[in-house]
Structure formats: C-alpha cells, structure tokens
Amino acid sequence: MRTAPTILHLDMDAFFASVEQASKPSLRGKAVVVGGLGPRGVVATASYEARIFGVHSAMPTAQARRLAPHAAYLVPRFGLYRSVSEQVMGLLRELSPLVEPLSLDEAFVDLEAGGSAWDGESARLAGSKLRADIRAATGLTGSVGLAASKMLAKIASEQAKPDGLVLVEPGTEQALLGPMPVRTLPGVGPATGDHLRRAGITTVEELAEAGEDELVRLLGKAHGHALSAMALARDQRPVVAERETKSVSVEDTYDVDIHDRVRVGIEVQRLADRCVGRLRGAGLSGRTIVLKVRRYDFSTLTRSETLRGPTDDPAVVREAAARLLEAVDTTGGVRLLGVGVTGLADYTQEDLFAQAAGERAAGDPVAEAVPEAVAEQPETTERLWRAGQDVRHAEHGYGWVQGSGLGRVTVRFETPQSDPGRVRTFRGDDPDLEPADPLPLVPGPPERDCAASDGAQPSSVPASLPKSWSESLGGEATSRP
C-alpha cells in the first residue's frame, strides 16, 4: 500500500436532486425526490432535505410520498445529468490521466500518477481545489476522500458528506476502521452482515480479531481472505482508467400489468431496438441476447441465447428476443420487461442466415403482423407533460412543469440564474407551450471571435452550452426570464 494519501474518491452530493435544485431556484433548500413517478416508480435520488423524512434511493416512490408528501417529485433528466457529469469528469482528468469513473457522479483519481500530489499536504490542496473548481463550473458540491487505498478513500468520502473533505493519514487506517460496523466494508451486504452478527462479529475491529482462518470457515475461502485483508486496511487495487463494459441492457416497468401477448411482443421488439441503439452508441456488438421478464407475482425469469458471432443488427436481436419470449409464460401478466446483450466485442460478424430470414420476412405478410398491430393503435394528440420537464412558452419564456392532469399543465417560469419564478396554468394542448432543452446550470463567459473584435456583437450564448442548446435558444438566449 502507498505511504501517502494520493488516491482521491469524489462523490457528488445527492447528484440528481442537486442538479434539479440548481436548475430550479424555487426548489433550493427544499425536499426534492427524483425517480419514477408511476405507481411502481422507485426513488433514484433524494435531496438531503428529503432524507430527513426517511426518504432514500431505491425506495418505492409511493412509500416516499407517504413519508414526505410535500416534497417535489420529479422525473429524471438524464441528458442534463450526463452533461454535468462530463464537466466534472473533465476536471478530474485535469488532475490525472488515471480516472476511474464508477457512475455519473462518482470516481477514483490517482493523484500521484498525474503529479498533482505526492504527500498529505499536496493531496489536501488538490482535493480542496477540485471541490472549488466543481462548484465554479457546475454550482454543485461534491465530497472528497483522500487515502492511500481505494477502499479507505471511498470510506473517507462517505464521512465527508455532504460537501466536505476527509483525509486519512497513513498509519491511522486501522484506528479509523476499528469502531465502524462491518457493513462499512465493500462486499459486506445484508446477508453477510447477518451471518457475521450471528457469529458475534459486528465491528471491523472484531472482524480483524477473528482472524483469517475463522473468516474463511464462516464465509468461504475467497470472501474470507478478502474481508480479512480489508479489516486490516490492506487494499492493493490500482486506479484503472478504463473499465470494461460487460453488458448493455434496457428495461421498463409498467404501471399496469400487461396481459395481452401481442402487446408483450411489441414491447420486447421496442426494447430490443433501444438496446441495439445503446450498443451501437458504445461502438460494441455482442453474442448473447438476454430476455428478462418479471411477472405479476414478482417472479423474475431470465432467458438467454448465444449467437454464432457478435452482432449489432437490430433484426438479429429482435428475432432472438422473440424466440426467447416464446418460452416464457406470460398468462398472468407482466410487470417488467428487459432486453440485454452480453459477450461484448468491438466488431460484428454478419449473420447471413438471419439476413436471409429478414429478406424473406420482407415479402411475407404474416411477418408484418407485429408492425400492423402497432399501426392499428389509435394515435393520440394529447401531449404528456411530466413533472420536472423543461418547457418553453411563446409569451412567458422558459420554465418547468410542476404538475399536470385533467387536461391542464402547471408551469413555473424560472431559470438557473433567475429568482424563484411565477406559476401559471395552461391547457394541456396549448399551442404556445412546447418541450425545451435544459439550460446550463452555470453560464460560461461570452464567446469572442474575430467578428466580435471587429466591432460586431459577441455571442451571448454561454461557452459551455452544447450546440443543440444554443440552436434551440436562437436569439432569445440573452433574455431568459
């Protein structure tokens, strides 16, 4: 293990909820819950104000509403979260070439590899500067842990929450870990924790005192060895810049169980197309197609089929998913469906047989039954407005949806840089109201080019604004209400 705390772990504070609060001035300092809003929705993130009432991630949204009925419940805006995450990860890569992202809001950084730190003092300075840079670039806060190993850096960042920095001095690791519950260590979940508790082991200190032989007897060789090393603060894992993607998948949970077999088939085809879209977006292909079905009684079935070679052909994935569905009984109803691809590669091997089948299907009216079923569904002109969605009104400007129903939609008109805005209600089909792209949380400096230096008016669109946003803003970027 290292002799200096040069491994940094960054964890953004209540990331999704914090982005929403930064984007919506009227929600700052208030309880915010981000997640699925339907009857079977699940909380993705809760702000610290909501956590006071007991709301936490992975909790059913219905339960969260009972605990915090006055909180703001919003749908996720993943496009905006990814954009902010890219800004944060860019700041981390300025510190070191060795950055290991764990999720959109969490990453390890090897400060020593980038020459950003070599001892405790320089590591603390680097961590403090990073937190300040993140706040300046995004308006958000992050917690930083610094230690000589990845395990301790992550534990330190948890101790630093929210909006803090904790540095673990080399030599103090075991004194820090000793009083902590065994669940603090990675890999100790509820089942392992209960097993250890029944053996009289509840703290990391007791885990270390038990010894490796006893832990191997209790938990098995691999797990026992690993936990014994962690209890003694031994963690040699390096920061790895590139983490191999093992699978690509998509899934949907339905508010009402699907009983119609044709509808189930249509949903599986749609999920297969979405999965291939993600696969191609990552420049990957895969050999094994996986179908996941959760039935009405919460039983979950997984079926898979391995192809002769990797593919990113949507027709091949759709056909494989359809074959897998044939072997699943959906009579009682389906509450969740998912399609995934594993056995990933960065090349494809064309499936000539699948192509031939696709060509035959093109002239076969029976093969067109599923597309016809989709076409027969009546088109609806009613627009769906979701709480938290960005909108723009021709007269009132930019805002976000507070709620909708009974043919009405309520909008609060405000931007990240404005004061809390006014609330207005419109008809759901109001032609002056339309969906909009999100605005940046922090405006960048005005862009200046040669035309500006010649006396022309410089662009007022923030430099950090993605091109698609600036195009949608047009000439109104300077007059955000």
Query: Is there a binding annotation on residue 273?
Result: no
Size (the chain), residues? 481
Asked if omega into 162 is within 30° of 0 (cis), the reply is yes
End-to-end CA separation in angstroms for the chain:
54
| Distance in angstroms (rounded) separating the CA atoms of residues 280 and 348 | 11
Query: Which letter does DSSP use for residue 109 in this model?
Result: E
Pairing of strands 99-103, 106-110: antiparallel
Place of tokens 């842990």: 145
The count of other CB atoms within 10 Å of the CB of residue 293 is 22
Question: Catalytic site residue 106?
Answer: yes
Query: Is there a binding annotation on residue 329?
Result: no
The string of DSSP codes covering 410-422 is EEEE--TTS-S-E
Considering only CA atoms, which of 107, 363, 400, 89 is closest in space to residue 239? Answer: 107
The string of DSSP codes covering 178-212 is TTSBGGGSTT--HHHHHHHHHTT--BHHHHHHH-H
| Distance in angstroms (rounded) separating the CA atoms of residues 401 and 386 | 7
CA 38 to chain centre: 19
Considering only CA atoms, which of 433, 369, 354 is closest in space to residue 398? Answer: 433
Pairing of strands 106-110, 422-427: unpaired
Query: Which letter does DSSP use for residue 15 in this model?
Result: H
| Distance in angstroms (rounded) separating the CA atoms of residues 310 and 286 | 4
Cβ-based burial of 227 (10 A; exposed 0-12, middle 13-18, buried ≥19): buried
| Distance in angstroms (rounded) separating the CA atoms of residues 244 and 134 | 27
Q: What single letter denotes the amino acid at residue 443?
A: P
| Distance in angstroms (rounded) separating the CA atoms of residues 358 and 361 | 5
Q: Which of 20, 49, 100, 106 is catalytic?
A: 106
Considering only CA atoms, which of 60, 88, 72 is closest in space to residue 25? Answer: 72
SS3 450: helix
Residues belonging to the binding site for Mg(2+) are: 11, 105
Residues belonging to the binding site are: 11, 105
Q: Could you give the residue numbers annotated as active site?
A: 106
